[in-house]
Structure 1
Amino acid sequence: MAFNGKFELESQENFEELMKSLGLSDEVIEKYKDQGKIIEIAQNGNTFQARYNYGSKVITNDLPFGQESEFVSFTGHRVKALAKLEGENKLVITMEGLTAAMELSGDKMIETLTNGVSTVKKIWKRI
């Protein structure tokens, strides 16, 4: 899987807007908006693993492709999620109220988060 690797956040658009539309408080949004700048992605068989670094807090999620499993959000909330591959360069994770699509383009990963009301676009650079 070409997603294997470590990525650093290069830019993001509309993070605060999406978080507000999900009902998060201004305090929570402020706390997390500038964190989570490194993500490590790996595939182990039919399982996708994403390891997010939020400063002193690290969250690791293991999601088997095509099976509902538990996902821990950056706020620590546990939600049900479903991960699936679409072709070789696109990974889609669907959870209650939110869909995350990650697509590779050269040495960049474009991540789009949407809840049907607001959309965040994050650009990650492979490091």
Structure 2
Amino acid sequence: MAFSGKYELESKENYEVFMKAIETSDELIQKFKNSKSITEVVQDGNHFKCTFTNGNHVIYNEFTIGQEADFETLMGYKIKSVANWDGPNKIILQLNSVTLVTELIKDKLIDTFTVGDIMYKRISKRI
């Protein structure tokens, strides 16, 4: 399927400002600031299995579009939410006050996190 694959982080914009806005500790901000990040996605129709590896930290989320699921955050919290399509290559997810939009454009996986008027963007390339 379209999203299935392994992606390596190429760039990120506004990381520290965003992390402070969502009250991430300075220790965690520094821990993940320059670590290598790999995202692996397995898509089967509307069902997704996503593994996010940042340094030694691994987050695994499994969900089906349109159905409530538990989503683990970088800080280890579990948040119930529903992922929805916004077009054929874009998924929107509301995690409490944070909106996450994940979009696939050619071989790039673009994650845009927004809280209030602060945006954090991660761009990963398929490997």
**TM-score, reference length from structure 1:** 0.90
Residue 118 of structure 1 and its aligned partner are, at CA, apart by 0.8
Secondary structure at the residue paired with 2:34?
coil
Specify the code of the residue in structure 1 equivalent to 2:47: T
Alignment coverage as a number of residue pairs: 127
User: Unaligned regions of 5+ residues in structure 1, if any?
Assistant: none
- Computed over aligned residues only, the root mean square deviation of the Cα atoms, in angstroms, reads 1.5
In structure 2, the CA distance between the partners of 1:106 and 1:45, relative to structure 1 (3 Å rule), is: closer
8 Å contact 1:111–1:121 — kept in the other structure?
Answer: yes
Q: Which residue of 2 aligns with 1:123?
A: 123
- The percentage of aligned residue pairs carrying the same residue is 43
Equivalent residue of 2:3, what SS?
A: coil
Residue 90 of structure 1 is matched in structure 2 by 90
Q: Is the 8 A contact 2:51 2:58 kept in 1?
A: yes
> C-alpha offsets along residues 39-94 of structure 1, whole Å, 9 cap, x if unaligned?
00112343222101122232210012112211111121111222112222111121
Matches within 5 A, 1:1-127: 1-35=1-35, 37-127=37-127
Q: What's the CA shift string for 1:25-46, capped at 9, x where partnerless?
A: 2112111223361000112343
Q: SS at 2:83's partner residue?
A: strand
Runs (4+) of structure 1 exceeding 4 A deviation are none
Within 1, Cα distance between the matches of 2:74 and 2:104? 22
Question: Are 1:7 and 1:40, in contact at CA under 8 Å, matched by a contact in 2?
Answer: yes
Question: What SS does structure 1 have at the residue aligned with 2:75?
Answer: coil
What CA distance in whole angstroms lies between the structure 2 residues aligned with 1:115 and 1:45? 29
The answer to which of 2-11 and 91-100 deviates more is: 91-100
Q: Gaps spanning 5+ residues in structure 2: where? A: none
CA contact (8 A) 2:9 2:124 kept: yes
